[in-house]
Amino acid sequence: MKKTVFIIVTVLISFCGQAQEYKNTFIPQPESVVMQSGGFKLGNTTQVFISKSMYADLKPIVASKMSSDNGLQLDVKSGRVSSKSNYISFEIVKDKKIQSEGYILEVKPSQITIKATDYAGLFNGFQTLRQAIPMGSKGETAIPSMIITDNPRFHWRGVLADVSRHFQTKEFLLKQIDVISSYKINTFHLHLTDDQGWRIEIKKYPNLTKKGAWRAGRTGIAWWSREAATAEEPKTVGGFYTQEDLKEIIAYAKVRNVEIIPEIDVPAHSKALIAAYPYLFCYDKVPEGVNFEVAVGGKAPDNALCAGKETTYAFLEDVIKEVAALFPSKYFHIGGDECNKSNWKKCPHCQKVMKDNNLKDEEELQSYFIQRMHKIVTAQKKVMIGWDEVLSGNGVKGATIMAWRRGIHTPEIKAPREGYPTIMTSYLHSYISRVQGPMFMEPEGPLSVLPLSVVYNHEPVPSELTAAEAKRVIGNQVSLWGEFTPTESHFEYMLYPRTLASAEVSWSNPKVKNWERFQDALEFDHFARLERDKVNFSKSMFTVYPAFAIDQLNNEAIVFLKTETVGYTIYYTLNGEDPTMAEGTKYMGDFKTTPKTLLKAGLFNEKGELLSTITEIRLK
């Protein structure tokens, strides 16, 4: 029998005429949920009151979501409550128990109140209220009485979208902002430039989008097998955001408590930039065999800017000024990762800078470059963010670090120990460009698996840190790199539900997290919410992972089946038929069968419903 880990209460509502069963399926899990007797009757007669200072921004969101979620046309008013019962109020208060972005949501039979100290808290409280309303209800419905007290663990709760490798439209980004904000993610990091495309309009340098935003088509050819483009080929794949597009995205995100972070990735990952303005490359005379076309995929050699030419810094200062003026965020991401320095070693300009500045090697030259970027960024009154490679050489004090590498590199420990504010985005736990189920069953992607449960069970703060060092961990982020996401549907498939898992890691106190509760919340509630909002998502969490070995001595196949979920049952067949609970064999542990047999296996809930795609593999 499947163990139920939900909080279940019985709610008696007079207008319903019968008892209702309610399950706590909140994502992210709040700090405290206290259920009480009775419930609130939500319907078209319910009035809504919003504090005057928050009314203009919050009203359209509340009205539109109540309409689209539940078919309700509510009367939303500004100012103090003027009704005695059946109302929802949004109130700004002074309360030390409520942190920035936190809230208290109280549902009583006569009223619902959301209290917060800022707009972000009211917005987040409303997202929790949306989840408290039973999924699928239209018109009048019952919301059980409860008190929810909730505060965020981290104030950076991020998602990176790589729109350089494959351009995604403005409308698609707006849709994602709507979805991620409903799960209290408050940072949308746009990777706007890379070898395969420059995606932001820079008025002073129009060739960045005229040439840098477009590449030759290689559709249908595996990413790492693509041949470089020639100068004569038509360049038809790509796109870019005008500055007006980005202003619209920023404004849309702001009222949804999402901050847009721009990334201009330098000095490496700059093939599209170099293709647009070749004079930024190391050599004055281009060596034979160097290709200055926008990369089409795979490796992109000769993609580093010259670190020795003053023209490089003047150009980037112009770009950074334009981008910084466009984005209100106090943060500016300059990349700084994966720089191949082979051209720097042969470049007379780079070698002269090294000599003039007593730099012992090219690692210190990268530090010199990053420190120049830091001065430019701080002159725009921004905080510079860099990938953890910027720690090499002499580092760059005053920057914020995104710690992605693990293993022989330990930036998750080094950065906070050396005093850097640090955002964790571990490639082992948070790079959701990796496939999320058995590799032979998933769409094309890197040859490694990042299951939903690994994202969910990740602890961003290393145990090696002291309490003081741990306070420098300011957030957590998942990153969706775009090599293998050419379509909107595939992009969403990779985002969800792993982004929801990261949302709970980033928001919830670890003490209230529970993997089984989370997986059940997805199955019973949130998959339906994503379907309602026309969001594509993966059910790979329910896929059966097969493993087998061939015992040649005894001519037997030894089979082992596994799933990352808890409380469900695997059924399998060996006769070529699809398994069901009635016709399949219940998996009880590893078993032996004949080699070359066709194995089919599926995961079933207690109702006998197949939860995901059937795993099919020949045992040979």
**Are 552 and 526 in a shared domain?**
no
In a domain, 2, yes or no: no
Number of independent structural domains in the chain: 3
Give the pLDDT band of residue 299 (cuts 50, 70, 90): confident
Q: Which pLDDT does position 289 carry in this prediction?
A: 76
The pLDDT of residue 357 is above 60: yes
- pTM equals 0.96
What confidence tens digit (pLDDT) does each residue in 229-255 have? 999 999 999 999 999 999 999 999 999
- Quote the CA–CA distance of 214 and 235 in Å, as a whole number: 5
In a domain, 527, yes or no: yes
Q: Any idea what the CATH number is for the domain that residue 326 is in? A: 3.20.20.80
In a domain, 3, yes or no: no
In a domain, 412, yes or no: yes
Q: Give the end of a domain, one of 509, 532, 555.
A: 532
**Are 181 and 229 in a shared domain?**
yes
Give the pLDDT band of residue 2 (cuts 50, 70, 90): very low
Pairing of strands 193-194, 197-198: antiparallel
Give the pLDDT band of residue 284 (cuts 50, 70, 90): confident
What confidence tens digit (pLDDT) does each residue in 74-122 have? 999 999 999 999 999 999 999 999 999 999 999 999 999 999 999 999 9
Positions marked active-site: 194, 269, 338
Average pLDDT, the chain: 95
**Are 416 and 563 in a shared domain?**
no
* 543 DSSP assignment: P
**Are 137 and 196 in a shared domain?**
no
What phi-psi label fits residue 497: left (phi over 0), alpha (psi between -120 and 50 degrees) or beta? alpha
**Are 565 and 506 in a shared domain?**
no
Q: Which pLDDT does position 283 carry in this prediction?
A: 87
Coil, helix or strand for 595? coil
In a domain, 251, yes or no: yes
- Quote the CA–CA distance of 556 and 572 in Å, as a whole number: 18
**Are 127 and 180 in a shared domain?**
no
What confidence tens digit (pLDDT) does each residue in 8-18 have? 344 444 334 33
In a domain, 1, yes or no: no
Q: Give the end of a domain, one of 115, 150, 185.
A: 150
What confidence tens digit (pLDDT) does each residue in 415-469 have? 999 999 999 999 999 999 999 999 999 999 999 999 999 999 999 999 999 999 9
Closest CA to 144 of 105, 188, 173: 105
- Quote the CA–CA distance of 175 and 360 in Å, as a whole number: 49
Give the pLDDT band of residue 38 (cuts 50, 70, 90): very high
**Are 264 and 219 in a shared domain?**
yes
**Are 126 and 181 in a shared domain?**
no
Higher pLDDT, 6 or 473: 473
* Mean pLDDT in residue range 326-338: 98
**Structural domain containing residue 421:** 161-532
Q: Any idea what the CATH number is for the domain that residue 558 is in? A: 2.60.40
* Mean pLDDT in residue range 39-63: 97
Q: Any idea what the CATH number is for the domain that residue 76 is in? A: 3.30.379.10
Q: Which pLDDT does position 21 carry in this prediction?
A: 57
- Quote the CA–CA distance of 247 and 326 in Å, as a whole number: 7
In a domain, 156, yes or no: no
